[in-house]
């Protein structure tokens, strides 16, 4: 249906990779809906081009930041103030109904039936099930709702510093008002739940339709050996199931990497594997952001924690000084 869309958000190249895999996973499961990506000005040109090939619409939006360091510290995610940017999705009024999905989600089956649901439908958050998780939700674009949400932010802020706190505050009767607005957990299987309730995962995990790589470490924080088809990096510390991580990586390497390679094209091949080459190219492009721009971004609280300003990269830099 032309007036219904899946919507995601990526403010930088790291989340951009997540959005590319999400878009591909929706296409692979033959969605009949439109695909929309909201992007931030930090995103590089090659990544924008790839997103434009996968998505029907790529829309540049202003990055909104809660600036709420105190609440974000409580969820140990200083980087999530920018998730306020998600609220722009209500301005997509050329669609009558949409499903928002975080860029760190992966679709495992056709989920077009979500459009039978009404605003505001979402699945419980595994940490506090009377709250919904805002990684997957059904909504109706409306300037009026958008305005009210922004007003809510100004008046009440967010109890977690991110969009999930605002949305739970705004749609505050979700837990009790209408059970049809509770999406089954298999539409937003937060990967940490596998460890908090393993028997349930063993019983029901096979029915999962959407996996959500919630938490600080994302699939793109690991590396992948394309020859042995294995994830490398701190896999035992992973907060997700290795099978899902492999699903993400195999889609990334087979469907997304060739597109990135096309964009980053004529750079010298450094190593044997296709994946390594693309990651290298992407990192090179990220590094091209001038140090002046990076400094400005840092000062505006927009460090690319998942990408070039990731802890690993900062540590590497420090190590190189120490050597
Ligand atoms: N996001 C983004 N840039 C950021 C941080 C977040 O575009 O720097 C978007 C992205 O769509 C992401 C969502 O906001 O999936 C929520 O953040 P995240 O998934 O990291 O939160 P979690 O689900 O781990 O709590
Ligand atoms: C959550 C959600 C995510 C949201 C974040 C900040 O854990 O998974 O979608 O952006 O909290 O509120
Ligand atoms: Mn997420």
Check which CATH number belongs to the domain holding 25 and give it: 3.90.550.10
Q: Is the CB of 15 under 6 A from ligand 1?
A: yes
Within 10 Å of residue 104's Cβ, how many Cβ atoms? 25
Paired sense of beta strands 34-39 and 4-10, if any: parallel
Q: Is the CB of 80 under 6 A from ligand 2?
A: yes
- Which of the two residues, 191 and 93, has the higher pLDDT score? 93
How far is C-alpha 268 from the chain's CA centre? 30
The string of DSSP codes covering 259-296 is HHHHHHTTSPP-SS-HHHHHHHHHHHHHHTS-HHHHHH
The β-bridge partners of 98 are: 5, 139
Q: Is the CB of 304 under 6 A from ligand 2?
A: no
Q: Is the CB of 215 under 6 A from ligand 1?
A: yes
Within 10 Å of residue 26's Cβ, how many Cβ atoms? 25
Global pTM reads: 0.85
Over residues 231-260, the pLDDT tens digits come to 887 766 666 777 899 999 999 999 999 999
Q: Evaluate whether residue 194 is within a structural domain.
A: no
Over residues 131-148, the pLDDT tens digits come to 999 999 999 999 999 999
267 CA distance to ligand 2 middle (Å): 36
Q: Determine what percent of the chain is predicted with pLDDT higher than 90.
A: 67
Report the number of distinct structural domains present in the chain: 1
For 59, 198, 276, the CA distances from 243, given in Å and listed in that order, are 32, 14, 21
- Give me the sign of the Cα torsion angle 201, 204, 206, 209: negative
pLDDT at residue 268 greater than cutoff 50: no
263 CA distance to ligand 2 middle (Å): 31
Within 10 Å of residue 77's Cβ, how many Cβ atoms? 17
Over residues 28-48, the pLDDT tens digits come to 999 999 999 999 999 999 999
User: Which ligand 2 atom is at minimum distance from the Cα of 102?
Assistant: 9
Q: Evaluate whether residue 207 is within a structural domain.
A: no
Name the band, by pLDDT with cuts 50, 70 and 90, for residue 315. very low
User: Which ligand 1 atom is at minimum distance from the Cα of 40?
Assistant: 7
Neighbours of ion ligand 3 (CB under 5 A): 102, 104, 135, 214
Q: Evaluate whether residue 288 is within a structural domain.
A: no
Q: Evaluate whether residue 319 is within a structural domain.
A: no
- Which of the two residues, 318 and 204, has the higher pLDDT score? 204
Q: Is the CB of 211 under 6 A from ligand 1?
A: no
Whether 218 contacts 307, CB under 8 Å: no
Q: Evaluate whether residue 162 is within a structural domain.
A: yes
Q: Is the CB of 102 under 6 A from ligand 2?
A: yes
Within 10 Å of residue 289's Cβ, how many Cβ atoms? 18
């Amino acid at each position: 249906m032309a007036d219904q869309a899946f919507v995601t958000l990526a403010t930088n190249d790291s989340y951009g990779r997540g959005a590319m895999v999400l878009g591909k996973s929706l296409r692979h499961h033959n969605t009949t809906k439109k695909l929309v990506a909201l992007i931030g000005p930090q995103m590089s040109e090659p990544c924008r081009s790839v997103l434009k090939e996968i998505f029907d619409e790529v829309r540049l939006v202003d990055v909104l930041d809660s600036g709420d360091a105190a609440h974000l510290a409580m969820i140990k995610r200083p980087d999530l103030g920018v998730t306020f940017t998600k609220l722009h999705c209500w301005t997509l009024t050329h669609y009558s109904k949409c499903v928002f999905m975080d860029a760190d989600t992966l679709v495992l089956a056709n989920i077009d039936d979500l459009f039978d649901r009404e605003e505001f439908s979402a699945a419980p958050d595994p940490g506090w099930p009377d709250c919904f998780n805002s990684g997957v939700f059904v909504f109706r674009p409306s300037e009026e709702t958008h305005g009210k949400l922004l007003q809510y932010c100004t008046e009440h802020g967010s109890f977690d510093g991110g969009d999930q706190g605002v949305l739970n505050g705004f749609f505050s009767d979700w837990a009790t008002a209408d059970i049809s607005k509770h999406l089954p957990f298999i539409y937003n299987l937060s990967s940490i739940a596998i460890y908090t309730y393993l028997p349930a995962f063993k019983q029901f995990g096979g029915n999962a339709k959407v996996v959500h790589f919630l938490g600080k470490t994302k699939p793109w924080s690991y590396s992948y050996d394309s020859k042995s088809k294995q994830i490398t990096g701190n896999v035992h510390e992973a907060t997700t199931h290795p099978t899902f991580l492999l699903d993400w990586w195999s889609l990334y390497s087979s469907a997304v990497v060739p597109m990135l390679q096309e964009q980053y094209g004529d750079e010298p091949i450094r190593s044997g594997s296709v994946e390594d080459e693309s990651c290298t190219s992407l990192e090179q492009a990220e590094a091209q952001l001038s140090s002046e721009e990076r400094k400005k971004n840092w000062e505006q609280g927009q460090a690319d924690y998942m990408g070039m300003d990731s802890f690993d990269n900062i540590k590497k830099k420090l190590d190189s000084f120490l050597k």
